[in-house]
């Protein structure tokens, strides 16, 4: 019987981290920012039906980058957790903090105990209420959880993009300004992103219980125009496109 | 609490009722064993207050009008011969484009509505797309069927479901029986202890292409006539300012009609001489 070679724990962790980081870096990045009426989430995502940004509960949204099937599994678990909690207790008792902690625990557990770490980075955002501030929890592949105040950047290029975005962030800016800044930052100096390359959603204060809303392409195009050359805002919030082919199996595009 | 993750073989999918059964949260399934009174041989169908009645005091009605459907319910809840609640709400939004109204035993009915609402939203979030109106109606039918053992105990729940079908672009109404069978009604429906009287009024006053105010008047008049005949149905309470709950479902979604507006429509009916004539 052969004995396995001894590998130092430091080395094991380092290898796993490298593996996860590589997987995440293959995908595109995502920016979340607080604006005057809520939280804006912008992802570079050419697919119309395989979402990176989704609704979890009335005031809670989920965003993930990395391997699609892995973060989608986490998203569904989040919806289940929130709906079960809201059903057993009350809608007010569902909060982002406890969900973020569960995610962090799970990711940490997988990172240390499983063969393969999850190649994902996720964000749980909750719209603030009267007297409560907005919350954004950024959870990394190994379970590290960071509480972000004004904005968060997820994905392979996060450091560069965060650096660029930091200089653009203004407190209390409106949706259009924040959106243009986020899209510009995601694109970088050399590229321009079209509405069809983007997935955008907001958690916005409004009259309805469910604060999550996707911005359809037509509205997005209108909002992305520079302020002066804008005529009318395109499109009213259309009913969500039918996500006919939501692929949830492991065969989903790995680098979404 | 732990993160609800499932192995691929035991995953409940977008089914919330299956999820809470798997997670051990109560409220998903009905009580399985009939509650037999002490001394009786077995929990038979004869236990409980009467034979499969719908007489727990309620009248709910729905009808189609030019922009969609309108749904209304009286406000009275009874316990035997006593009035248990004067301002109960029996019409609820099921989701953005549908409404559900309940008749029958109040406790299980409200619980069923809560489960139904959660189920529709849960499906929409997990799958990323809302159920079709037909799918929603079918879901509710399954919940009513699961409730059948309780119905044999006299705790029947019979909902009324209506919504705006975004694919067909029209309002649709579904009625149920205690076995979960659901039937689509063409233009109007009413159920509950005063359902028969309400139905008669609506049948006489209904015609295609009713406008919103006419529809509100007709449905309020139907509930008034039901309350006139049925002890378990409450009429408008002018002293306390309690009027039927009325809601519309159109392409824009579910929208409750303000109590003031219902009161105003009721006022118009009174001026016109409530008992006779149609609401036109």
- Local confidence band at A15 (pLDDT 50, 70, 90 cut-offs): very high
Confirm whether B3 is domain-assigned. no
Greater confidence (B159 vs B106) lies with B159
Q: Do A81 and B1 touch (CB under 8 A)?
A: yes
Confirm whether B17 is domain-assigned. no
Confirm whether B112 is domain-assigned. yes
Query: What secondary structure does DSSP assign to A179-225, as a single string?
Result: HHHHHHHHHTTT----GGGEEEEEEE-SSSS--EEE--HHHHHHHHS
Q: What is the pLDDT of residue B275?
A: 56
Confirm whether B8 is domain-assigned. no
Q: Which residues of A touch B130 (CB under 8 A)?
A: 240
The answer to whether A10 contacts chain B (CB < 8 Å) is no
* Cα nearest neighbour of A237 on chain B: B252
**Domains (ranges, CATH) in chain A?**
48-224 (3.60.20.10)
Chain B, residues 3-62, CB within 8 A of chain A, namely 3-5, 16, 19-20, 23, 25, 27
* Cα nearest neighbour of A247 on chain B: B127
Q: Do A246 and B25 touch (CB under 8 A)?
A: no
Q: What is the pLDDT of residue A137?
A: 97
- Local confidence band at B55 (pLDDT 50, 70, 90 cut-offs): very low
pLDDT higher than threshold 90 for residue A16: yes
The enclosing domain of B261 has a CATH number of: 3.60.20.10
Confirm whether B35 is domain-assigned. no
The answer to whether A103 contacts chain B (CB < 8 Å) is yes
- Local confidence band at B26 (pLDDT 50, 70, 90 cut-offs): low
pLDDT digits (tens, 9 = 90+) for B122-174: 999 999 999 999 999 999 999 999 999 988 887 889 999 999 999 999 999 99
Question: What percentage of residues in chain A have a pLDDT greater than 70?
Answer: 88
Nearest Cα to Cα of residue B93 among B57, B31, B136, B156:
B136
Q: Which residues of A touch B125 (CB under 8 A)?
A: 54-56, 79, 83
Q: What is the pLDDT of residue B209?
A: 94
Chain B, residues 128-187, CB within 8 A of chain A, namely 128-130, 166
* Domain coverage including residue B165: 49-272
pLDDT digits (tens, 9 = 90+) for A33-77: 999 999 999 999 989 889 999 999 999 999 999 999 999 999 999
Beta strands in chain A (DSSP E): 30-35, 38-44, 53-57, 60-66, 120-126, 135-139, 145-148, 151-154, 198-204, 212-214
Mean pLDDT (whole number) for A185-212: 91
Confirm whether B218 is domain-assigned. yes
């Amino acid at each position: 019987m052969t004995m396995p070679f001894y590998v130092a724990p430091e080395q094991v962790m380092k290898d796993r981290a490298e593996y996860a980081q590589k997987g995440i870096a293959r995908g595109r990045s995502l920016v979340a920012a607080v604006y005057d009426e809520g939280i804006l989430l912008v992802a570079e995502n050419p697919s119309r039906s395989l979402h990176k940004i989704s609704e979890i509960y009335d005031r809670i949204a989920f965003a993930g980058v990395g391997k699609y099937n892995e973060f989608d599994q986490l998203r569904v678990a989040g919806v289940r957790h929130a709906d079960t909690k809201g059903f057993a207790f009350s809608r007010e008792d569902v909060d982002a903090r406890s969900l973020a902690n569960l995610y962090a625990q799970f990711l940490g557990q997988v990172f240390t105990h499983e063969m393969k770490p999850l190649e994902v980075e996720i964000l749980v955002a909750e719209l603030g209420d009267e007297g409560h501030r907005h919350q954004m929890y950024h959870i990394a592949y190994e379970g590290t959880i960071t509480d972000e105040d004004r904005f968060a950047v997820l994905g392979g290029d996060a450091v560069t993009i965060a650096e660029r975005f930091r200089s653009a962030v203004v407190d209390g800016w409106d949706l259009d300004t924040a959106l243009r800044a986020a899209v510009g930052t995601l694109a970088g100096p050399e590229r321009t992103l079209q509405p069809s390359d983007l997935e955008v959603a907001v958690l916005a204060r409004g009259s309805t219980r469910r604060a999550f809303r996707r911005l359809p392409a037509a509205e997005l195009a209108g909002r992305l125009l520079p302020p002066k050359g804008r005529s009318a805002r395109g499109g009213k919030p259309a009913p969500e496109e039918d996500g006919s082919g939501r692929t949830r199996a492991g065969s989903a595009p790995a680098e979404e | 609490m732990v993160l609800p993750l499932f192995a691929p073989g035991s995953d409940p999918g977008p089914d919330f009722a299956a999820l809470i059964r798997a997670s051990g949260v109560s409220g998903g399934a009905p009580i399985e064993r009939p509650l037999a009174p002490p001394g009786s041989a077995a929990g038979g169908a004869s236990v409980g207050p009467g034979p499969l009645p719908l007489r727990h005091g309620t009248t709910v009605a729905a009808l189609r009008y030019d922009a969609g459907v309108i749904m209304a319910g009286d406000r009275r809840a009874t316990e035997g011969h006593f009035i248990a609640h004067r301002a109960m709400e029996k019409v609820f939004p099921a989701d953005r484009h549908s409404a559900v109204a309940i008749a029958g035993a109040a406790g299980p009915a409200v619980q069923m509505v809560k489960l139904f609402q959660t189920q529709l939203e849960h499906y929409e979030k997990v799958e990323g797309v809302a159920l079709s109106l037909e799918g929603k109606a079918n879901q509710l039918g399954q919940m009513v069927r699961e409730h059948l053992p309780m119905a044999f105990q006299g705790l029947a729940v019979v909902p009324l479901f209506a919504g705006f079908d975004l694919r067909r672009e029209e309002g649709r109404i579904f009625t149920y029986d205690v076995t979960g069978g659901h039937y689509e009604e063409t233009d109007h429906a009413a159920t509950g202890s005063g359902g028969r009287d309400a139905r008669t009024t609506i049948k006489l006053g209904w015609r295609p292409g009713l406008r919103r105010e006419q529809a509100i008047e007709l449905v309020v008049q139907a509930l008034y006539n039901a309350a006139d005949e049925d002890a378990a149905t409450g009429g408008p309470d002018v002293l306390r300012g309690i009027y039927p709950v009325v809601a519309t479902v159109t392409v824009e979604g579910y929208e409750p009609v303000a109590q003031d507006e219902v009161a105003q429509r009721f006022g118009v009916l009174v001026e016109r001489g409530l008992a006779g004539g149609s609401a036109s």
